[in-house]
Structure 1
Amino acid sequence: MGRSRLMTRLVALGVEEEFHVVDLVSRRLTPQAHVVLDGLPDKSFSAELQQAVVETNSTPTPDLAALRADLVELRRRLITGAEPHGLGIVGSGTAPLHGTEGFELTADERYEYLLDSYQFIAREQFICGGQVHVEITDRDLAVLVAQRVQPWLPVLLAVSGSSPYWFETDSGYASSRTLAWQRWPTAGPLGPFASAAEYDQAVADLVTSGVIDDRGMVYFDIRLSAHVPTMELRVCDAVPRVDDMVLLAGLFRALVVRETDAVEAGAPPRFDQRPALLRAATWRAARSGLSGDLISPLTGKPGPAGLLLETLLEELRPTLEALGDWETVSALALEAVRLGGSAARQRAAYRKKGQATDVVDLLLRETAEG
């Protein structure tokens, strides 16, 4: 049943990527996003809270090859707009060379509210994420599917881990961005919710509490979009390699589609959904990335990251094959494991000469490669 449904219905997906703006001479983070964005269309390019960050938005598509081509073109346009001004574009969870001198708030009433309300959390928002949107029109279904997908999100976080450096010091984590992000009051696991009405009431209660100002400030690891009929993956670091972003998008869509079929077939949830265990698994992924153990949602026990990613691939194989994504996603997953993750590559670049500028050069190069 699930397979025939997939064969007749295309499931669109889209990606938002955030990038750091760096000075090409010093290789340091610099608050000049406005210079890069000048002349670029608002539809595809936008500012963020910090003037040192820019965001791109891909065009929704059901095709991973088309998504990849779009992401490459968006990066190319950003880089082309930055280089004449002596600026570079870096895709990673944090920039290796950054400090408080990079802080400059983007002129916007919403961002001013964030700074006033959250203080140092907003001031230290020198982080970039990669978000994936997958089409799902039934919101009651989406709430149930999101909770079933959630136990696998730490594996996707591990694939994306690209922020070992925090304020120019090795944090000891593959994703220091995750630790910084989790300081926001609504960040973390979703649910439990039995319906869209329960989800919406919880969001309304958060707004009523005054802790957040509107629905857009719900920062669950996976959430329902407040504006369009999609489910959003929000747990991942930004990544330098475009192929890793395509891998994350392909895996996330397959998880959503598989669990949609399972809910519609009446299959019960397979995994423990306790928030404490979900947070522990997320912490483990942020700590280890692809270089250590992750917590398996199948057993609750630690195991090598590469093996758990392989397990996820095999679990998703029927869905990936039905979507026409198996060859692409499996090849990208094998390559990601072979390369060892961005955090490990950054540390290796630093060890060669002990120069953080070499790490920035690596990230500049990988971000630009199509």
Structure 2
Amino acid sequence: MEEEFLVVDLESRRLTPLAQAMLDRLPGEGFAAELQRSVVETNSTPLEDLGDVRAELVRLRGALVSAGEPLGVGVIASGTTPLTGVDGYTISPGERYRYLSDEYRFLAQEQLICGAQVHVEIDDRDVAVLAAQRAEAWLPPLLALSASSPYWENDDTGYASSRTLAWQRWPTAGSLGPFADAAQYDRTAEDLVASGVIEDQGMVYFDIRLSAHVPTVEMRICDSCPLVDDVVLLAGLFRALFTRESEAVERGEPPRGEQRPALLRAANWRAARSGLEGDLLSPLTSRPSSAPQLITWLLDDLRPTLEELGDWELVSELADEALRRGSSASRQRGARAVNGRPEDAVDLLLAETRKP
């Protein structure tokens, strides 16, 4: 699991470029800087049990909170922040970050967005690339569950995940296919580097991608989630989804979900627009359905695999809780609406992020 967090001043509630000061107070393993000095990342160790995943995420978040408090800063796990501040726009030092800033200009300068990424181990890269393409149709409901970025530049965007729109501006973001096998995937990644549009294969930003250096497939479509239980939910759902599709590839079964790029893009847009408070598109028919109805159906569809993995009871409970409370985007808007103060939305995010 990788989680990205925005660093905020606890007095002003605005972004502050003190991520490195926090990192100086933390062990090197499990924590890293990001492009912007107001963003920090955590990386968990590989784990099999979702309960252990949860405990690890709580531990990493707790370490961030403890490192930040003496500096007067806190962290929020959300796709964007309700309250920006000019100090948030500060590029981190280092040759790679200078390259990103010089080459991509306002894309890098506005990269004040945070995601939650899930890695699932798989040894067979040919199976991995085929299963990844089959899984793409099922990712928009996971994006909707994570939607936590209604604000951009202090204004309500009208979207539940404005991070998704900002992220799609990068030249390699979006759908990964079509690829016949891992060799074709690898050649495309190499050609992207050779084109000069990206510097290395770490900049292949597909919504779901094969790692260039470890035997995993990585889901990259989701916003950061303030509540740790929602991150555990995403991990459980994606592992079950990818396990099911990998097994279907090995059995030679045809794909069940939508694979046309235009409709995949439409489904992602719909999830970013609506979150859990509107319609989503069915991965089978591309027709609209209410988010709670579609996610409940998705759970039932994945139930045999979730039971096989021993995850059904926990994942179904976490999904029910997520649907009852609604998206983070909706909760942030509700907090701000009480007194019209964006600071109240930041306070909600601070509290939820540190909640064990």
Quote the residue 1:253 is aligned against: 239
State the alpha-carbon separation in 1 of the partners of residues 258 and 72 from structure 2.
50
CA displacement, residues 267-321 of structure 1 (integer Å, 9 cap, x when unaligned)? 0111231111111110000000000000111211011011111111001100000
Task: Please show how residues 161-240 of structure 1 align to structure 2 within 5 Å.
Answer: 161-240=147-226
Aligned to 2:331: 345
Whole-Å Cα distance in 2 between the matches of residues 310 and 262 of structure 1? 22
1:92 maps to 78
Equivalent residue for 2:60?
Answer: 74
What amino acid maps onto 1:194 in structure 2? A
Query: How many matched pairs?
Result: 356
Alignment-derived partner of residue 294 in structure 1? 280
| 1:61 alignment counterpart | 47
Matched, 1:307 2:293: yes
Aligned to 2:116: 130
Secondary structure at the aligned position of 2:350 is classed as helix
Q: In the alignment, does 2:144 pair up with 1:158?
A: yes
Mapped partners of 2:283, 2:319: distance in 1: 19
Secondary structure, counterpart of 1:234 in structure 2: strand
Q: Any idea what SS the aligned residue of 1:365 has?
A: helix
2:71 equivalent to 1:115: no
- 1:39: Cα distance to partner? 2.7
Amino acid in the other structure paired with 1:115: S
Q: Which amino acid aligns with 1:152?
A: W
**Partner of 2:70: helix, strand, or coil?**
helix
Task: Measure, in 2, the Cα distance between the counterparts of 1:307 and 1:190.
Answer: 28
* Larger mean Cα displacement after TM superposition, 101-110 or 206-215: 101-110
1:321-361 deviation line (CA, Å, top 9, x unaligned): 01110000000000000001100000000111100000000
Quote how far apart the aligned CAs of 1:179 are. 0.5
In 2, Cα distance between the equivalents of 1:253 and 1:115? 34
1:336 aligns with 2:326: no
Cα distance in 1 for partners of 2:218, 2:122 equals 10
Cα pair 2:138 2:257 within 8 Å, conserved: no
Instruction: Give the C-alpha shift of residue 99 in structure 1.
Output: 3.7
Residue 4 of structure 1 corresponds to which residue in structure 2? none
CA distance in 1, matches of 2:123, 2:103: 33
The equivalent position to 1:143 in structure 2, one of 108, 118, 129, is: 129
TM normalised by structure 1 equals: 0.95
Would you say the 8 A contact 2:17–2:88 is kept in 1? yes
User: Would the alpha carbon gap of residues 100 and 275 (structure 1) be closer, same or farther in structure 2, given more than 3 Å must change?
Assistant: farther
Deviation string 1:138-170 (CA, Å, 9 cap, x unpaired) is: 111100000011001101000000000001000
- Listed one character per residue, the Cα deviations across residues 243-268 of structure 1 (whole Å, up to 9, x for unaligned) are 00000000000001001111111101
Which letter maps to 1:316?
L
Native 8 Å contact 2:229 2:318 kept in 1 = yes
What's the TM-score once normalised by structure 2's chain length? Answer: 0.99
CA contact (8 A) 2:127 2:249 kept: yes
Q: Distance in 2 between matches of 1:283 and 1:181?
A: 12
Aligned to 1:361, the other structure's residue is in SS state helix
What is aligned with 2:37? 51
* Separation (CA, whole Å) in 2 of partners of 1:41 and 1:291: 40
Aligned to 1:281: 267
Counterparts of 2:211 and 2:200, CA distance in 1: 13
Query: Are the equivalent residues in 1 in contact too, given 2:116–2:231 (CA < 8 A)?
Result: yes
CA contact (8 A) 2:240 2:306 kept: yes
| C-alpha displacement of 1:207 | 0.9
Using the alignment, how far apart are the partners of 2:80 and 2:326 within structure 1?
18
2-structure distance, mates of 1:305, 1:99: 33
CA distance in 2, matches of 1:108, 1:140: 35
| Alignment RMSD (CA, Å) | 0.7
Unpaired runs of at least 5, structure 2: none
Counterparts of 1:294 and 1:195, CA distance in 2: 30
Q: Deviations 1:10-39 (Å, cap 9, x if unpaired)? A: xxxxx0000000000000011110111113
- Cα distance in 2 for residues equivalent to 1:261 and 1:288: 32
For residues 31-53 of structure 1, what are the alpha-carbon distances to aligned partners after superposition, in whole Å with 9 as ceiling and x for unaligned? 11011111312220000000000
Q: What does residue 325 of structure 1 align with?
A: 311
After superposition, what is the alpha-carbon deviation per residue over 1:44-100, rounded to whole angstroms, capped at 9, x for unaligned? 000000000000001111100000000001000000000111101100000111044
Q: Which amino acid aligns with 2:317?
A: A
Q: 2-side partners of 1:84 and 1:100: how far apart?
A: 22
